[in-house]
């Protein structure tokens, strides 16, 4: 119940501070992981995919961190049964935990064929903070980074392009930062999409036959009345 309440609060904040929209689906379907992730900043203890799944699918207050200081870690995520698409304005929002020091993460978006649509590095800082500001590493705040997807030529992607999966890059020397000599560890909590396409669900054959039977009875009844 606490998790559901927290998500509701965050959605309400997003509706006013990020954009006038709501998150339609989360990308929590792990397709692959590379290098390794931990559940604490600076830890080199790797998590299993099942442990990662439990963290990113449950609570925005928990996050995964790259566990190799020399290399960035990568996680590929899909939207499961949901079909995420591009739209006007922000397409995605990425949740992470901000400790008072700026850092970055990378995000690549691929289409249904696995072709790269967009790939950029994004900065996390106090301008992304949802619930106030944080002055030290002892204080963790949930932050959101709103992303409008652009192609590699810098052009905004057209609307209604179906997204296949996302790759997030965190950690290593490229996606960590430092302020005043203090290391800032990039992390990832959740990623959501603002735009989805309704799936076309085919009717079961029994329903189709039943509907056809009703239509036939109605036609027969009208024919008898006409005679």
State the residue range of the domain holding 35.
2-202
- What gap in Å lies between CA 34 and CA 15, rounded to an integer? 33
pLDDT at 133 (0 to 100)? 52
Instruction: State yes or no: pLDDT of 103 exceeds 60.
Output: yes
Distances in Å between the alpha carbon of 116 and those of 63, 78, 119, 175?
26, 14, 7, 20
Residue 89, domain member (yes or no)? yes
pLDDT at 136 (0 to 100)? 53
Instruction: State yes or no: pLDDT of 219 exceeds 90.
Output: no
Query: Among residues of the chain, what percentage have pLDDT more than 90?
Result: 53
pLDDT at 20 (0 to 100)? 47
Residue 218, domain member (yes or no)? no
**What tokens does 61 get?**
């207050």
Residue 41, domain member (yes or no)? yes
Number of structural domains in the chain: 1
Max Cα–Cα distance, the chain, nearest Å: 94
Residue 17, domain member (yes or no)? yes
Q: What would the pLDDT profile of 11-55 be if each residue is shown by its tens digit?
A: 444 443 444 469 999 999 999 999 999 999 889 999 999 999 999
Instruction: State yes or no: pLDDT of 226 exceeds 70.
Output: no
Nearest alpha carbon to residue 190 among 47, 63, 34? 63
Residues in the chain: 227
Residue 171, domain member (yes or no)? yes
pLDDT at 209 (0 to 100)? 47
- What gap in Å lies between CA 218 and CA 183, rounded to an integer? 75
Under a CB-based contact definition with an 8 Å cutoff, are residues 184 and 101 in contact?
yes
181: which residues sit within 8 A by CB, 6+ positions away?
none
pLDDT at 125 (0 to 100)? 80
Give the three-state DSSP class for 110.
Answer: strand
- What gap in Å lies between CA 108 and CA 151, rounded to an integer? 10
- What gap in Å lies between CA 183 and CA 133, rounded to an integer? 18
Instruction: State yes or no: pLDDT of 165 exceeds 80.
Output: yes
Residue 31's domain is classified under what CATH number?
A: 2.60.120.260
pLDDT at 119 (0 to 100)? 96
Give the three-state DSSP class for 196.
Answer: strand
pLDDT at 104 (0 to 100)? 92
Residue 97, domain member (yes or no)? yes
Distances in Å between the alpha carbon of 68 and those of 62, 105, 190, 220?
19, 15, 21, 74
Q: What would the pLDDT profile of 168-217 be if each residue is shown by its tens digit?
A: 999 988 998 876 677 889 999 999 999 998 754 454 555 444 445 545 54
Q: In degrees, to the nearest 5, what angle opens at C-alpha 39 toward C-alphas 136 and 121? A: 70
Query: H-helix or E-strand containing 178?
Result: strand 177-179
Under a CB-based contact definition with an 8 Å cutoff, are residues 73 and 36 in contact?
yes
Residue 226, domain member (yes or no)? no
Label residue 71 by pLDDT band (50, 70, 90). very high
pLDDT at 173 (0 to 100)? 86
Residue 212, domain member (yes or no)? no
pTM of the prediction? 0.77
Label residue 8 by pLDDT band (50, 70, 90). very low
- What gap in Å lies between CA 124 and CA 186, rounded to an integer? 8
């Amino acid at each position: 119940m606490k998790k559901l309440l927290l998500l509701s609060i965050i959605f309400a904040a997003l509706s006013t501070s990020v954009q006038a929209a709501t998150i339609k689906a989360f990308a929590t379907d792990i397709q692959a992981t590379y290098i390794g992730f931990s559940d604490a900043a600076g830890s080199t203890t790797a998590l299993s995919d099942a442990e990662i799944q439990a963290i990113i699918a449950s609570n925005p207050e928990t996050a995964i961190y790259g566990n190799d200081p020399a290399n960035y870690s990568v996680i590929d995520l899909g939207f499961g049964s949901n079909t995420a698409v591009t739209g006007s304005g922000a397409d995605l929002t990425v949740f992470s935990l901000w400790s008072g020091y700026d850092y970055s993460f990378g995000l690549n978006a691929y289409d249904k064929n696995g072709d790269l649509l967009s790939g950029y590095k994004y900065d996390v800082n106090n301008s992304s903070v949802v619930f106030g500001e944080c002055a030290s590493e002892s204080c963790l705040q949930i932050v959101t980074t709103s992303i409008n997807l652009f192609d590699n030529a810098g052009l905004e992607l057209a609307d209604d392009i179906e997204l296949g999966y996302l790759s997030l890059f965190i950690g290593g020397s490229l996606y960590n930062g430092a302020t005043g000599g203090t290391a800032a560890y990039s992390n990832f909590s959740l990623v959501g999409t603002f735009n989805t396409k309704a799936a076309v669900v085919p009717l079961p054959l029994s329903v189709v036959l039943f509907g056809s039977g009703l239509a036939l009875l109605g036609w027969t009844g009208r024919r008898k009345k006409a005679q």
